[in-house]
Amino acid sequence: MQQHDLRPNPGAKKDKRRIGRGNGSGQGTTAGKGTKGQQARSGMNRRGFEGGQISIAKRMPYKRGFTNHFRVEFEIVNVGRLDELALEGLIDQTALARAGIVDMARPLKILGDGEITRPIQVRANRVTAGARAKIEAAGGSVEEIDAPASAGDATEVASDESDADQA
Protein backbone atom coordinates (compact mmCIF):
# COMPACT_ATOMS: atom_id res chain seq x y z
CA MET A 1 0.00 0.00 0.00
CA GLN A 2 1.32 3.40 -1.02
CA GLN A 3 0.44 6.79 0.40
CA HIS A 4 -1.53 7.66 -2.73
CA ASP A 5 -3.73 4.58 -2.14
CA LEU A 6 -5.06 5.92 1.18
CA ARG A 7 -8.67 7.06 1.11
CA PRO A 8 -11.11 8.06 3.88
CA ASN A 9 -13.77 5.48 4.71
CA PRO A 10 -16.95 5.74 2.66
CA GLY A 11 -19.31 8.22 4.31
CA ALA A 12 -16.58 9.71 6.51
CA LYS A 13 -16.37 12.93 4.51
CA LYS A 14 -19.74 14.60 4.02
CA ASP A 15 -20.28 17.86 2.17
CA LYS A 16 -21.76 20.76 4.08
CA ARG A 17 -25.49 21.25 3.49
CA ARG A 18 -26.00 24.23 1.21
CA ILE A 19 -29.32 25.73 2.23
CA GLY A 20 -31.50 27.53 -0.31
CA ARG A 21 -29.58 26.41 -3.42
CA GLY A 22 -32.33 24.93 -5.58
CA ASN A 23 -35.17 22.47 -5.14
CA GLY A 24 -33.07 19.48 -6.18
CA SER A 25 -31.05 19.81 -2.97
CA GLY A 26 -34.09 19.24 -0.76
CA GLN A 27 -33.34 22.53 1.00
CA GLY A 28 -34.46 24.96 -1.72
CA THR A 29 -37.27 27.53 -1.92
CA THR A 30 -38.02 28.16 1.78
CA ALA A 31 -34.69 26.72 2.97
CA GLY A 32 -36.24 24.81 5.87
CA LYS A 33 -37.83 27.92 7.37
CA GLY A 34 -41.45 27.19 6.46
CA THR A 35 -43.55 29.84 4.78
CA LYS A 36 -43.62 33.53 5.60
CA GLY A 37 -43.67 35.07 9.05
CA GLN A 38 -41.03 36.50 11.34
CA GLN A 39 -38.98 33.30 11.58
CA ALA A 40 -38.73 33.11 7.77
CA ARG A 41 -37.17 36.59 7.54
CA SER A 42 -33.52 37.42 7.94
CA GLY A 43 -32.12 38.85 11.16
CA MET A 44 -32.84 37.92 14.74
CA ASN A 45 -34.22 39.48 17.89
CA ARG A 46 -32.00 40.52 20.75
CA ARG A 47 -31.58 38.12 23.69
CA GLY A 48 -34.52 38.22 26.08
CA PHE A 49 -36.90 39.84 23.57
CA GLU A 50 -40.37 38.38 23.98
CA GLY A 51 -42.24 39.90 21.06
CA GLY A 52 -43.22 43.11 22.81
CA GLN A 53 -44.63 41.65 26.03
CA ILE A 54 -42.87 42.69 29.24
CA SER A 55 -39.83 40.45 29.52
CA ILE A 56 -39.30 38.02 32.41
CA ALA A 57 -36.41 40.16 33.64
CA LYS A 58 -38.75 43.11 34.12
CA ARG A 59 -41.63 41.04 35.52
CA MET A 60 -39.50 39.56 38.30
CA PRO A 61 -38.90 41.55 41.50
CA TYR A 62 -35.98 43.90 41.10
CA LYS A 63 -32.76 42.67 42.67
CA ARG A 64 -30.91 45.49 44.39
CA GLY A 65 -27.34 45.86 45.54
CA PHE A 66 -24.55 43.49 44.65
CA THR A 67 -23.14 40.14 45.72
CA ASN A 68 -19.79 40.13 47.49
CA HIS A 69 -17.94 37.18 45.95
CA PHE A 70 -15.29 37.33 48.68
CA ARG A 71 -17.76 36.91 51.56
CA VAL A 72 -16.62 34.46 54.24
CA GLU A 73 -19.25 31.86 55.19
CA PHE A 74 -18.92 30.60 58.77
CA GLU A 75 -19.96 27.32 60.38
CA ILE A 76 -22.31 28.49 63.14
CA VAL A 77 -22.80 26.84 66.54
CA ASN A 78 -24.79 28.26 69.47
CA VAL A 79 -23.62 28.02 73.10
CA GLY A 80 -26.75 26.03 73.99
CA ARG A 81 -25.67 23.37 71.49
CA LEU A 82 -22.17 23.28 73.02
CA ASP A 83 -23.75 22.66 76.44
CA GLU A 84 -25.89 19.79 75.06
CA LEU A 85 -22.88 18.07 73.48
CA ALA A 86 -21.14 17.50 76.84
CA LEU A 87 -17.74 17.39 75.15
CA GLU A 88 -14.83 17.31 77.59
CA GLY A 89 -11.65 19.38 77.35
CA LEU A 90 -11.05 21.93 74.62
CA ILE A 91 -13.97 22.42 72.24
CA ASP A 92 -12.67 23.49 68.84
CA GLN A 93 -13.58 22.93 65.21
CA THR A 94 -11.85 19.54 65.11
CA ALA A 95 -13.83 18.25 68.11
CA LEU A 96 -17.10 19.56 66.65
CA ALA A 97 -16.29 18.01 63.25
CA ARG A 98 -15.67 14.63 64.92
CA ALA A 99 -19.09 14.98 66.59
CA GLY A 100 -20.61 15.67 63.14
CA ILE A 101 -21.74 19.20 64.00
CA VAL A 102 -19.59 21.29 61.64
CA ASP A 103 -17.55 21.00 58.47
CA MET A 104 -13.82 21.72 58.50
CA ALA A 105 -13.95 23.63 55.20
CA ARG A 106 -15.32 26.87 56.69
CA PRO A 107 -14.24 28.87 59.76
CA LEU A 108 -16.15 28.44 63.05
CA LYS A 109 -18.31 31.09 64.72
CA ILE A 110 -19.94 30.73 68.16
CA LEU A 111 -23.26 32.52 68.71
CA GLY A 112 -24.96 33.28 72.03
CA ASP A 113 -28.34 31.54 71.68
CA GLY A 114 -29.22 29.14 74.51
CA GLU A 115 -27.92 28.70 78.05
CA ILE A 116 -24.70 27.16 79.30
CA THR A 117 -24.53 25.42 82.68
CA ARG A 118 -20.94 24.20 82.97
CA PRO A 119 -17.49 25.67 82.36
CA ILE A 120 -16.10 24.91 78.90
CA GLN A 121 -12.99 25.87 76.96
CA VAL A 122 -13.77 27.11 73.46
CA ARG A 123 -11.45 27.89 70.55
CA ALA A 124 -13.10 29.43 67.48
CA ASN A 125 -12.43 31.88 64.67
CA ARG A 126 -15.18 34.26 65.79
CA VAL A 127 -17.17 34.53 69.03
CA THR A 128 -19.99 37.02 69.54
CA ALA A 129 -19.97 39.26 72.62
CA GLY A 130 -23.07 37.54 74.03
CA ALA A 131 -21.58 34.07 73.60
CA ARG A 132 -18.30 35.17 75.21
CA ALA A 133 -20.19 36.65 78.19
CA LYS A 134 -22.23 33.45 78.72
CA ILE A 135 -19.20 31.14 78.49
CA GLU A 136 -17.12 33.27 80.88
CA ALA A 137 -20.06 33.68 83.30
CA ALA A 138 -20.27 29.87 83.51
CA GLY A 139 -16.57 29.75 84.43
CA GLY A 140 -15.27 28.82 80.98
CA SER A 141 -12.71 30.41 78.71
CA VAL A 142 -12.71 31.60 75.11
CA GLU A 143 -9.77 31.67 72.71
CA GLU A 144 -10.38 33.48 69.45
CA ILE A 145 -8.10 32.41 66.61
CA ASP A 146 -7.83 34.37 63.41
CA ALA A 147 -8.62 32.65 60.13
CA PRO A 148 -7.62 34.16 56.80
CA ALA A 149 -10.69 35.59 55.07
CA SER A 150 -9.66 34.13 51.71
CA ALA A 151 -6.81 32.32 50.00
CA GLY A 152 -5.33 35.68 48.95
CA ASP A 153 -5.23 36.83 52.57
CA ALA A 154 -3.43 33.65 53.62
CA THR A 155 -0.58 34.37 51.22
CA GLU A 156 -0.41 37.99 52.41
CA VAL A 157 -0.19 36.87 56.05
CA ALA A 158 2.55 34.39 55.17
CA SER A 159 4.55 37.04 53.28
CA ASP A 160 4.11 39.55 56.15
CA GLU A 161 5.47 36.98 58.62
CA SER A 162 8.47 36.21 56.39
CA ASP A 163 9.16 39.97 56.10
CA ALA A 164 9.06 40.26 59.89
CA ASP A 165 11.47 37.33 60.23
CA GLN A 166 13.94 38.95 57.85
CA ALA A 167 13.85 42.33 59.66
Q: Give the confidence band of 115 by pLDDT, cuts at 50, 70, 90.
A: very high
Helix (H, G, I), strand (E, B) or coil at 79: helix
Q: Against a cut of 0.75, is the pTM above it? A: no
- What's the DSSP call for residue 148? -
Using an 8 Å Cβ cutoff, are 111 and 79 in contact? Answer: yes
pLDDT in tens, 117-154: 999 999 999 999 999 999 999 999 999 998 655 544 54
AA letter at 42: S
Count Cβ atoms below 10 Å from residue 41 Cβ, excluding itself: 9
Q: Write the CB contacts of 51 (distance below 8 Å, at least 6 apart in sequence).
A: 45
Please, what are the domains in the chain? 75-152 (3.100.10.10)
- What's the DSSP call for residue 16? P
pLDDT at 75: 94
pLDDT in tens, 75-108: 999 999 998 887 778 999 999 999 999 999 999 9
